[in-house]
Amino acid sequence: MKDYINTVTMERFAADIRIQTILMFAHAGYGHIGGAMSISDVLAVLYGGVMSIDPKNPSWEERDRFVLSKGHSGPSLYAALALKGYFPLEELKTLNRGGTRLPSHCDRLKTPGIDMTTGSLGQGVSAAMGIAMGVRMKGLECYTYLIVGDGELQEGQVWEGVQFAAHQKLDHLIAFVDDNKKQLDGMVEEICEPFDICDKFRSFGWNAQIVKGYDVKEIYQAITQAKKEVGKPSVIVLDTIKGKGCNFAEVVDFNHYMVISDEMAEESIKEIEKKLLKE
Amino acid sequence: MYRLAKEHKEEKEAMRDVYCNALMQLAEKNPAVISVDADVMHSMGTLEFHKNYPSQAINCGIQEANAVGVCAGLSVTGFIPFFHTFSTFATRRVYDQVFLSCAYSGANVKIVGGDAGVTTAVNGGTHMPFEDMGIMRNIPGMTVIEPTDSTMLRSIVPQIANNYGNYYMRLCRRSTMKIYDDSSEFEIGKAAILKEGEDVTIFANGIMVHEALKAYVMLEKQKISARVVDMFTIKPVDADCIIESAKLTGAVVAVENHNIINGLGSAVAEVLSENYPVPLERVGVLDEFGEVGDQNYLMKRYGLTAEEICRKSIKAIERKK
């Protein structure tokens, strides 16, 4: 991993993930837009430079592993994988269709590049711990990356896994919390407040950082720092906004799952391109 | 091939120790075999594994849901995890984790529950599983087994490790009655026919196999000839054997240390009604919760006895008329 990144390339990749995801949802007519948008930047950093992967050989033994525990955001991961060449971009149009390799939630048996099946919240955390243990037991140097939702932190299983990872000193495990402040029914702090997420992880024995979750440079630097930590797992809390970067989603209260038209998609893609030019 | 032991008496070795030894033998040969515990190594008898193969043993602590997820993660990196705890915690407590992270994910996780029904005894109703086989049977692709004695357990454990897929095996932790000659070998999914008979077939598993053999003798005295079958795999159940038995005897009794709903009796009923309907009677727990007591008391309390098997056998035979 280099000490610096080309932020322009990375921001372009994040924009492309957003664009492809919005197109995918518009084609299907609906989708889990909010949480897919808020992880687009971290996916761009991971798949755009951090992770050691081979899209032509998805099961390459020495690859870095990735678990999207908030499995309902699968579509943005599919966009990243397609853009990296795991499968044709055209296939994104098959999202949720009968017989597709791209189901609404991540499925390791169906999609090239998906390391773990997720969809029942909390479970991806434990699976990631098992994967991190497994690759370490095999003597591999690879990293396991994990994304958990902020609402997902309400699941008790998350904290079983968090305690386990610290005890097992899984320092090649880097977790991200998509702290986008919203869950299906509304604001996370109104439904079941997580309080200080970094403090919680630190009290469980983790190295914790918080960064702007839509700033690729900050995310990259946090990963660089996390890799220096020895004997401790690391968490990077992504302070972000649900629906981030998609104009129609970002402004509404309930954006976990939305009906999306071609017109909405077109408009939002124009906005994304415009914003990129400005930056 | 399998043979009945000359004598059926209580075994010297506890099932948990037989299990641990079988697992250690596997681990010695195959470094991919991993023992995963959730703070009941002393109860489950896996302490020796932990001592002898520390690099292949993980004690997660009291966190069964995470332990199952860790197993799933280990398995997708190529390991063969065996997760063992009390049956209630190995099944109903982690049902969604087993369903999704293991079965739906196409993982390769072996789950072992240590307390078969009334053998939970003094741990009482909170810990007594009469539903574990049933709920695990409902998970697509899950193989569900209850080995009968130490000989069968030794024969089965390597098969579980060597066949890719998710398994649930239900044990009793203490020693059980010796049923089979030491030379016996078994194949998962293939029932063992223990006695031939013409009037009725008794399908049993686990501790109820011994009761079925006792019932065989009692029925013989009443001039009733019973076929006795050890149906140790309830999924995939040996449908051929069930159909053949129904054709041969025309009446069937299914006997289990489990709720009669969704266990062995249900599996037998499904095969019979779709293929060769004959009168069926079920012996088992009649949709009740467990309670505290010693095993003998509980077997009588829930009607898990040779006498009840005889009564139901006669009833099934009468229904043929």
| Chain segment A189-199, per-residue pLDDT in tens | 999 999 999 99
Within a domain: A117: yes
**What are the chain B neighbours of A132 within 8 Å (beta carbons)?**
73
Q: Clarify whether residues B35 and B81 are in a common domain.
A: yes
Look at residue A4 in the predicted model and tell me its pLDDT.
72
Q: Clarify whether residues B142 and B211 are in a common domain.
A: no
B261 min Cα distance to partner chain A (Å): 27
Between chains, do A126 and B61 touch, taking CB under 8 Å as contact? no
Establish if A69 touches chain B: CB-CB under 8 angstroms.
Answer: no
Q: Which residue of B has its CA nearest to A133?
A: B74
Within a domain: B286: yes
**What are the chain B neighbours of A108 within 8 Å (beta carbons)?**
76, 105-106
User: Mind listing the pLDDT tens digit for each residue in A200-243?
Assistant: 999 999 999 999 999 999 999 999 999 999 999 999 999 999 99
Q: Clarify whether residues B167 and B198 are in a common domain.
A: no
User: Mind listing the pLDDT tens digit for each residue in A135-174?
Assistant: 999 999 999 999 999 999 999 999 999 999 999 999 999 9
A256 min Cα distance to partner chain B (Å): 22
Q: Which of A116, A135, A161 sits opposite B105 (nearest CB)?
A: A116
What mean pLDDT do residues B54-76 have?
A: 98
Within a domain: B308: yes
Q: Which residue of A has its CA nearest to B71?
A: A130
Q: Clarify whether residues B289 and B236 are in a common domain.
A: yes
Residues of B with CB under 8 A from a CB of A: 55, 58, 60-61, 63, 65-79, 81, 96-97, 100-101, 104-106
**Domain boundary residue among B108, B137, B171?**
B171
Within a domain: B303: yes
Look at residue A3 in the predicted model and tell me its pLDDT.
66
Within a domain: A1: no
Q: Which residue of A has its CA nearest to B34?
A: A134
pLDDT value at A278 more than 90: no
Both structure tokens of A174:
């880097």
Q: Clarify whether residues B165 and B58 are in a common domain.
A: yes
Judge contact between B221 and B173, C-beta under 8 A.
no
Within a domain: B71: yes
What mean pLDDT do residues B141-153 have?
A: 98
Look at residue B7 in the predicted model and tell me its pLDDT.
95
Residue with tokens 């004598």: B7
Q: Clarify whether residues B160 and B217 are in a common domain.
A: no
**Domain boundary residue among B105, B137, B171?**
B171
Within a domain: A128: yes
Q: Clarify whether residues B114 and B159 are in a common domain.
A: yes
Residue A208 domain boundaries:
7-278
Cα(B41)–Cα(B47) distance, rounded to whole angstroms?
5
> Known catalytic residue: B131?
no
Within a domain: B5: no
Within a domain: A39: yes
**What are the chain B neighbours of A130 within 8 Å (beta carbons)?**
69-77, 81
**What are the chain B neighbours of A119 within 8 Å (beta carbons)?**
100
What CATH number should be reported for the domain holding residue B73? 3.40.50.970
Within a domain: B109: yes
**What are the chain A neighbours of B106 within 8 Å (beta carbons)?**
108-109, 117
Q: Which of A130, A138, A156 sits opposite B69 (nearest CB)?
A: A130
Count of structural domains, chain B: 2
The distance in angstroms from the start CA to the end CA of chain B is 36
Phi, psi of B151 (to 5 degrees): -65, -45
Q: Clarify whether residues B158 and B257 are in a common domain.
A: no
What CATH number should be reported for the domain holding residue B201? 3.40.50.920
Q: Clarify whether residues B157 and B30 are in a common domain.
A: yes
Q: Clarify whether residues B38 and B147 are in a common domain.
A: yes
Q: Which of residues 134-173 of A touch B (CB under 8 A)?
A: 134-135, 137-138, 156-157, 160-161, 163-164, 167
Within a domain: B118: yes
Count of structural domains, chain A: 1
Within a domain: A136: yes
Residue B125 domain boundaries:
15-171
Between chains, do B69 and A126 touch, taking CB under 8 Å as contact? yes
Between chains, do A133 and B61 touch, taking CB under 8 Å as contact? no
Between chains, do B66 and A135 touch, taking CB under 8 Å as contact? no
Within a domain: A220: yes
The strand pairing partners of B33, in sequence order, are: B80
Q: Which residue of A has its CA nearest to B78?
A: A134
Three-state secondary structure readout of chain A: CCCCCCHHHHHHHHHHHHHHHHHHHHHHCEECHHHHHHCHHHHHHHHHHHCCCCCCCCCCCCCCEEEECCHHHHHHHHHHHHHHCCCCHHHHHHCCCCCCCCCCCCCCCCCCCCCCCCCCCCHHHHHHHHHHHHHHHCCCCCCEEEEEECHHHHCHHHHHHHHHHHHCCCCCEEEEEEECCEECCEEHHHHHCCCCHHHHHHHCCCEEEEEECCCHHHHHHHHHHHHHCCCCCEEEEEECCCCCCCHHHHCCCCCCCEECCHHHHHHHHHHHHHHHHHC
A48 min Cα distance to partner chain B (Å): 24
Q: Clarify whether residues B70 and B109 are in a common domain.
A: yes
A268 min Cα distance to partner chain B (Å): 35
What mean pLDDT do residues B285-299 have?
A: 98
pLDDT value at A133 more than 90: yes
Between chains, do A164 and B63 touch, taking CB under 8 Å as contact? yes
Give helix B306-319 / helix B208-221 axis angle, nearest 10°.
60
**What are the chain B neighbours of A103 within 8 Å (beta carbons)?**
none
Q: Which of A117, A125, A135 sits opposite B100 (nearest CB)?
A: A117
**What are the chain B neighbours of A106 within 8 Å (beta carbons)?**
none
Q: Which residue of B has its CA nearest to A166?
A: B60
Q: Clarify whether residues B157 and B210 are in a common domain.
A: no
Between chains, do A161 and B66 touch, taking CB under 8 Å as contact? yes
What is the ipTM for the molecules in this complex?
0.96
Within a domain: A2: no
**What are the chain B neighbours of A134 within 8 Å (beta carbons)?**
73-74, 76-79
What CATH number should be reported for the domain holding residue A242? 3.40.50.970
Within a domain: B178: no
Q: Which of B77, B104, B105 sits opposite A138 (nearest CB)?
A: B77
**What are the chain B neighbours of A164 within 8 Å (beta carbons)?**
60-61, 63, 66, 70
- The pairing of beta strand B167-170 with beta strand B143-145: parallel
Within a domain: A109: yes
Catalytic residue among B11, B64, B211, B281: B64
Q: Which of A131, A133, A163 sits opposite B58 (nearest CB)?
A: A133
Cα(B114)–Cα(B85) distance, rounded to whole angstroms?
6
Establish if A58 touches chain B: CB-CB under 8 angstroms.
Answer: no
User: Mind listing the pLDDT tens digit for each residue in A50-98?
Assistant: 999 999 999 999 999 999 999 999 999 999 999 999 999 999 999 999 9
B105 min Cα distance to partner chain A (Å): 5
